[in-house]
Amino acid sequence: MDLLDLNRSALDLNLKLMADLEEAHLDMATPCAGWTVYELLRHQVESTLSFVAAVRHTAVDEPASDDLVAAYRVATDAVTEAFRAEGVLEAEAEFPGYGLRRGRELVAGHFVDNLVHAWDLCRAIGVDSTLDAELATAAYRMARHFPTTPDVRGPGGAFAMPVDVPVDAPITDRLVGLLGRSPNWPA
């Protein structure tokens, strides 16, 4: 599966999970320290719109709706279109907090972030959080190359510092551990 298809698969997984959310889920805690399901959804909408703006070299749009699931659907379609535009994967774009990056790196970051947030959402609402092995393996390979600088890892960074996970653990556990989540996080 190519990078753009991997990204779309992660978006579609989130959309499928979000379609089953109930009002009571929105206040539930997530593995993202200090974030409820509502705050996780808000982050996914705002972050996705930031990726659109970065590759299009425009200002960040406001969410399309106050309904975060609907807003995420619109944002995912926009980011898919933006990422698939001619030359985007090789072009450079400025992403707030991370500087100038090739489009391919931005797509990889968006994919990993959205796939791991699907895991966060699963854990929060208590459904099976085992990620598709192809998606998790691809994300793990990409995330291993993420820098360990403070803007990327640790307090205020996009991801927490890695947590120890056995090398023979399932790929989902190794991925989330690499990105600072305990695979045993309880809802």
Per-residue pLDDT tens digits for 40-92: 999 999 999 999 999 999 999 999 999 999 999 999 999 999 999 999 999 99
* Overall average pLDDT of the 181-186 stretch: 92
Give the ranges where the chain is alpha helix by DSSP (H): 3-19, 37-56, 68-84, 103-125, 133-143, 171-178
If we measure between CA atoms, which residue out of 42, 49, 44, 47 comes closest to residue 67?
42
With bands split at pLDDT 50, 70 and 90, how would you rate the model's confidence at 150? Answer: low
d(CA 19, CA 22): 9
Contact call for residues 21 and 73 (beta carbons, < 8 A): no
End-to-end Cα distance, the chain: 32
Domains of the chain: 3-178 (1.20.120.450)
Contact call for residues 125 and 28 (beta carbons, < 8 A): yes
Sequence-distant (6+) residues with CB within 8 A of 35 are 29, 43
Q: How far is CA 4 from CA 20, 104, 139, 176, in A?
A: 25, 9, 13, 21
Q: Is the pLDDT of residue 137 over 60?
A: yes
